[in-house]
Each structure stands twice: as C-alpha cells, then as structure tokens.
Amino acid sequence: MGIFDKLSGWLLSIFGKRHVAIGIYGPPNAGKTTLANRIAMDWAGDVVGEASEVPHETRKIQKKDRIVIKQGKASLTIDLVDTPGIATKIDYHDFLEYGLDEEEAKKRAKEATEGVIEAIKWLDNLDGVILLMDSTKNPFTQVNITILGNLEARELPFIIAANKIDLNGSTPATLKSAFPKHEVVPISALNGVNMDLLYEAMVRKFGKKRK
Amino acid sequence: MEIKVNFISQEKLNGLGEQEKLKFILEEVRKGQILVLEQGLTAEEQAKLIEMTMEKVNEKFSGIEMESYMSEKQNFWGRLLGKKRARMTIVGPADKIKTVYRDKDVIKAVIVGKR
C-alpha cells in the first residue's frame, strides 16, 4: 500500500461518511439487478433479486442493507438500492414478444409504470448513485440524459458504470467520450470483470463527506 | 399523411407554473400532438414529466418520446438556482414519434403512423 492510500484511508476514517445509501439507476435491461447481486454476493454472500432478459423484471425497489465494502484500510458500509428501470414509455405489447400472455403483459406494464415512479422518487433518499449503462448501446438516450441531469442538479455523487463489456459490440470508450466530465468504469457485472475498479471508485467517491 | 407539429414559444411556457406547464405538455401529447418547446425543460422537469406520464400510461397511451439537448452553459439565473435547462425539447406520443439516431449534436427522429 502506497503513502497516498494510507493517507486517504486515514482521512476517510476521520472525515468520511462510512454508512451510505447507494442506488443503482439506469434504463431497463442495463443489468442493474445483476450488478446488485454481484455486489451483494461479493461482500455479503447473498443476492438482492432475480435478473431476467424480459424488460422491467424489477418493478419494485429491492434493498440489501449494511453491505461492507473494504479497500485496504478504508471501508464503506452501504445500503444497496436496486431500482426499477426508468423509461418514458411502457407498451404491454412489447412483453408479448417474450412469451407472456396478454393479461400477464398488461399486469407487468402496470407494475412497471409504478416502478418508474418509485425509482424517481427514491432519488431523494440516496447518498450516491451508480448510473449503469449498457456499453453495447448508444449512451445518448433521453433516460440517461435525464437521470444524469437529475444527479447533477441534486449534487449527488455518482459513478457511471459501462456494463456488458464481455459482449461483442461493447464500446465503453464511446461512453467515456460521451461523458468526459464524469468517472466511467467499464465492467461486466455478469462475469465480475473490473469489479475491483468499481469498488475502489465507490469507496473513494461515496466515502467522502458530502458538502 | 398529414403531420402536425406544434412549436411552443418560450413566452407561452414561462407564463405557466411548473405543474401547469407539465400538465399542459402531457395533455397535448395525449391528444396526439408533437411539441417542439422553444425553451427546453430542466432535468427535474423531465423527471417529473416522466412520473406524470407513467401515471397516465394505459392500453391506449404507452407513454412519450422525449428528446432534449442539455445546455452546456448555464445562464445567470440557472447558476443562481443550480438548474441546467435543455436548449430545446421535443416531446410526442411514443406511438407517433421514434428517435432513430442521437448523439451529442444530432437528433434524428421519424414520425410514424399508429400501431
């Protein structure tokens, strides 16, 4: 461990807020629950919820409290909040393509709309956010822009995680150039690639005392 | 096919409170109108509009398509109030307008017929 790490750990132990609520936000199917499960498994040996390829699988806030992330001498206790995907439109017809019958699809759509509202309202209860984007897709979506704008307006510390770097067509560099003022960490939540970089960023960013 | 796009002036929206403004936008969109707002919405207004939209989603109305260019620079009042506003916002019913491409400087959208 270098002098800087020792100094940073010492400063964190004195000034840092060590117990924070961290939300995972992003559009549907970015891998939010997969990431929440990865973090919870790595540090608490448990999962937060069920992930699925059907959009809007998570339709209610899911929480895992008191996860302790350690980085050298510094540590951070987080209440992890996995949120429903934020969308501007929810059409029940889209769920029919995944084999759901009409009644199930309509029910899922209704619950998904409630989930979006709940996710937006939860921004007021958090100390920090991991904004998760799918690195195989165009980052300039309205949902990404709106979430990012709200995080900036609330002055909430956040990290952009460019997920799915294990897939062909992933271009995390595009995300980095799209948001040059913000920290972007390329990860694969599914395979655990670069999770050490994300944990380091979380402890550093979310462990700081907020102004 | 006749396509109607309404350009809404800054003066019109400035004369409305936040709630009134978002209600006006959503009501117009639910009537099938596509709106181009001369003065864009703030990020908070965009989030509130998404919330209000979700309350109205049903089998006939699936939601909105919205695109904004956020302003890189804030004006005096923006800096004072800490609010970053979009330079321009386009909003319409999700079944009528689809964004086909977007980057930092270009938004390409198509207006389509109903499902």
> Looking at residue B107, what is its pLDDT?
85
Which residues in chain B are closer than 8 Å to A152, comparing Cβ atoms?
A: 43, 84
Percentage, residues of chain B above pLDDT 70? 84
> Looking at residue B69, what is its pLDDT?
80
Q: Is B37 on the interface with A (CB under 8 A)?
A: no
> Looking at residue B70, what is its pLDDT?
73
> Could B44 and A92 be called an inter-chain contact, meaning their C-beta atoms sit closer than 8 Å?
no
Whether A14 shows a pLDDT value over 80: the answer reads: no
Residue A185 φ/ψ, nearest 5 degrees = -115, 115
Who contacts A100 (Cβ-Cβ below 8 Å, separation ≥6)?
Answer: A54, A108
Lowest-pLDDT choice from A189-193, A203-207, B10-14: B10-14
What are chain A's domains? 3-206 (3.40.50.300)
Write down the mean pLDDT value for chain B: 86
> Looking at residue A128, what is its pLDDT?
98
**Using beta carbons and an 8 Å cutoff, which residues of A are at the interface with B?**
86-93, 106, 109, 113-114, 116-117, 120-121, 123, 138, 140-142, 145-150, 152-153, 155, 178
Q: What is the pLDDT of residues B24-43, one digit of tens each?
A: 999 999 999 999 999 899 99
> Looking at residue B87, what is its pLDDT?
79
pLDDT band at A108 (very low <50, low <70, confident <90, very high): very high
Write down the mean pLDDT value for chain A: 92
- The label of the residue with tokens 């309404």 reads B6
pLDDT band at A141 (very low <50, low <70, confident <90, very high): very high
CA-CA distance, B77 to B14, in Å (whole number)? 14
Which residues in chain B are closer than 8 Å to A146, comparing Cβ atoms?
A: 43, 46-47, 50, 68
Identify the segments of chain B with pLDDT beneath 50. Answer: 115
> Looking at residue B114, what is its pLDDT?
54
Count Cβ–Cβ pairs < 8 Å, chain A vs chain B.
Answer: 89
Mean pLDDT of A12-28: 80
Percentage, residues of chain B above pLDDT 90? 56
Beta strand extents in chain A (DSSP E only)? 19-25, 62-71, 74-82, 128-134, 158-163, 184-186
What ranges in chain B are assigned the alpha helix state H? 10-14, 18-30, 43-56, 76-81
Q: What is the pLDDT of residues A49-99, one digit of tens each?
A: 999 999 999 999 999 999 999 998 899 999 999 999 999 999 999 999 999
> Looking at residue B101, what is its pLDDT?
82
pLDDT band at A178 (very low <50, low <70, confident <90, very high): very high
Query: Per-residue b/e over A119-145, b at no fewer than 16 CB within 10 Å?
Result: bbebbeebbbbbbbbbbbbbbbbbbbb
State the virtual CA torsion across B100, A172, A41, A29 in degrees, nearest 10: 0
> Looking at residue B82, what is its pLDDT?
54
> Looking at residue A100, what is its pLDDT?
95
